[in-house]
Structure 1
């Protein structure tokens, strides 16, 4: 069974990991501002979309769109319904404990929580708008006042609706920008998960835009969709998402959010480099692995660089003219982290500029032909030695999964052949399924086996 086109049904480890990460992101930071929408956009609320002639049907039998979108948004037992549950999470036992520890008062009214657990509003609210709806339609599609009437007209034009304030989520950069506001963080109030929040019990943040888009998919990419918006290029979406995630992370690091009192903001650094068992014994139990992409002193907490690693793979295929610049700027940033805050910020800004250039280049690149195969080779070839940490390994297995699915969608690999590779991908997911049980050697072996099988089908 496939979920939104992903071959997840036959790999319980993959679905469990994706669900766990999505739940963490929901509990952590879900929803987003509508990037690109007019500043004064009005918000009408979920009830404005809920008619049976609109998106409130119980069956997907609409002539143009499914029309059961709200039912899928509210699905109670799967990651697909996570956005609708975001506000309710705040009143759970865990939500109340976190808020109490941090002195936030009622979490369902705390700005530090509502920035991502509800729909961020930067304009007037209609009478049907409810904060309790959680991360609603307008959190992603933009305040609807300007386009709610035009978008359901016979022959409605997508570009016209975008000009009226609808967020162009069909564009990889626009979608990534919206999702990252909460799934990684933004400069807006209430849209960043700090180390203190995680210390209080908040889940860690992790995100991969193509996989998470699949889990949230509430549309069918039929002929009508392709005519109006074009089909989704999963390879491009994944690559652009990696570039924009790196850019966002570095911009936040270089901002005042990069420090917390006398300390750096530790949420930017790899958790597992510090959070290990401490004990005294005759023989050491060395768990910190050196990484060829990080010219830092041994034992120094490394920056969470999973997006640097995967973007390097994407750049070699989709924007080779920028690949060497990315490699040099990435190493320069890691090196500067050992020199002090001023040097690190300057290096972060240089690297952010490179990531921004890559986002633009990858957005305009073509990813037909053997691009997906080449991406697989790039991830598992030059990059393989850099998968020394839990977070980079999580991103890598999600990337291989995305690329395998893209190859099936393109007709380059049959569904049966892909199913035969699933066992290795499942084992790779199992090795990263639980952060405290990360098994690096098992992950690397399973990923390498999956990649060999994919190469054999080229």
Structure 2
């Protein structure tokens, strides 16, 4: 992959252009050893000075206009600032707060300005404390280099020194984005939410106009990638396959959702549960008093809950179930049982639901550890694609959220086969139309038709299956 977009990423972007708005809207798009069960990677450094984007922008560093560096591209800042590409979304994150949509959301929330509101700056900028901002730090830089790589004061010199190693830089404070679980924790802070100030998009914020937040680690990483994974990169940092990144991201997303739901400050909103955690379009449906009106809701066998009760958003549970059946069969039945028990517990009371959430979190962590240590060969990847579109999974695509994850997963897994040299690029390109028809089926969240989507996904999966 390159600092622009690789052939694989460009193909995926064709399908994603229409979906990106629905999935992320103005919310900016944003070594291999697994962590021990139940332990999260650090998400944000809290005691290191952030020097600011300008400290990385020299022409001998990352500020060149061409990717002609001997070891790294050195045009990373230009890619970060690209005005019309998803690769520049992080640099645009602060600016959108002052655009018409950002101003309208701030007005509805009673904020003087989104550009100065802590509830917005937690994700649309680098919200490091003022005492930790270096002289070149600018809040208006948006999601800058150190938002993801960590405060640079202690490693900015060593990371380009002769003889420096990646592990040495990590020891000095560079955030370990090459660890899939650590990367997932970092990205989830803004692309799903955290318990830190300004990093949780509540239902009230969405009601004011903020789009639904969704997360798929490998796809978002691809769209933001500014480096080449050449032989030198692999020698210094190793390589994480697309499928492993996707699978770890799914497990980490579920663990994060459950941990935030269990937080008493976030899981409740007055008399009601915090609806952010629930499946948006299970409630946001057309309502009619006509005698011949037919409900658009379909029964979901994975969610044993009473009719009319809002279901917990299970998009990551469905993907995890597919991945577990193919790559961690010893945990698959446990995940299925814990998922169903959690949904059922929501109809009892909050304490029962919290206990069930903890059991499911433990299983999600076990899956994250298993996936982080798995190389995901060709046969396993094809098996996951089959599982995503299988009858067992398809019956659970009753709402838009799960369907979006299924499309992104299918594309991610195909891209992983291509990048691993297990499917020829030309063969993948030949079935691009099937993938794009599946994307078209989720282009409009308010016009989602489950049965049509299932047919489109099945067609895409069958086309990929013929590449075996």
TM-score class, shorter-chain normalisation, is over 0.9
2:219 counterpart of 1:217? no
1:280-311 superposed Cα distances (whole Å, 9 cap, x missing partner): 11212211111111111122111110000001
Q: Is the 8 A contact 1:22 1:212 kept in 2?
A: no
**Stretch moving more, 444-453 or 61-70:** 444-453
Deviations 1:13-35 (A, max 9, x none): 433213553444318xx6xxx93
Question: Compared with structure 1, are the counterparts of its residues 347 and 107 closer, same or farther at alpha carbon in structure 2 (3 Å cutoff)?
Answer: same
Displacement of 1:102 in angstroms is 1.1
Following the alignment from structure 1 to structure 2, what is the Cα–Cα distance between the partners of residues 4 and 10? 10
State the 1:452 CA deviation.
1.2
CA contact (8 A) 1:80 1:216 kept: yes
1:324-339 aligned at under 5 Å gives the runs: 324-339=333-348
Would the alpha carbon gap of residues 186 and 431 (structure 1) be closer, same or farther in structure 2, given more than 3 Å must change? same
Q: Which residue of 2 aligns with 1:3?
A: 5
What is the aligned residue count?
454
Q: Could you tell me which residue of structure 2 aligns to residue 165 of structure 1? A: 173
Question: In the aligned structure 1, how far is the partner of 2:11 from the partner of 2:113?
Answer: 39
1:330-377 per-position Cα deviation (integer Å, ceiling 9, x unaligned): 000000011111111111111111111111111112212412111112
Alignment check: 8 A CA contact 2:397 2:403 kept:
yes
User: For 2:180 and 2:328, how far apart are their aligned partners in 1?
Assistant: 16
Q: Give yes or no for the alignment of 1:372 onto 2:381.
A: yes
Work out which of the residue numbers 170, 183, 195 in structure 2 matches 1:175: 183
Deviation at 1:51, TM superposition (A): 0.1
**Distance across 1 between alignment mates of 2:321 and 2:220:** 21
Q: How does 1:408-447 map to 2 (within 5 A)?
A: 408-447=418-457
CA change 1:177–1:208 in 2 (3 A) is: same
**TM-score after normalising by structure 2:** 0.93
Please list every run of 5 or more consecutive structure 2 residues that lacks an aligned counterpart in the other structure: 31-40
Partners of 2:43 and 2:189 within 8 A in 1: no
CA distance in 2, matches of 1:340, 1:197: 26
Residues 197-222 of structure 1 deviation map (CA, whole Å, 9 limit, x = unaligned): 01111111011111111111100010
Q: Contact 1:37–1:143 (CA<8 Å) still a contact in 2? A: no
**Worse overlay, 76-85 or 117-126:** 117-126
Partner of 2:290: 281
Q: Secondary structure at the match of 1:148?
A: coil
1:41 matches 2:48: yes
Change (3 A) 1:10 1:89: closer
Question: Aligned to 1:383, what secondary structure does the other structure show?
Answer: helix
* Counterpart check, 1:254 vs 2:259: no
Would you say the 8 A contact 1:11–1:426 is kept in 2?
Answer: no
CA RMSD of aligned residues (A): 1.9
Structure 1 CA distance, aligned partners of 2:21 and 2:105?
21
Q: Aligned partners of 2:66, 2:237: CA distance in 1, in Å?
A: 23
Task: Provide, for residues 77-132 of structure 1, a one-character-per-residue CA deviation record: whole Å limited to 9, x for no partner.
Answer: 11111100111111112111211211222211111111001012156111001111
Does the CA-based 8 Å contact 1:274-1:301 persist in structure 2?
yes
User: In the TM superposition, what is the alpha-carbon distance from 1:12 to its structure 2 partner?
Assistant: 3.6
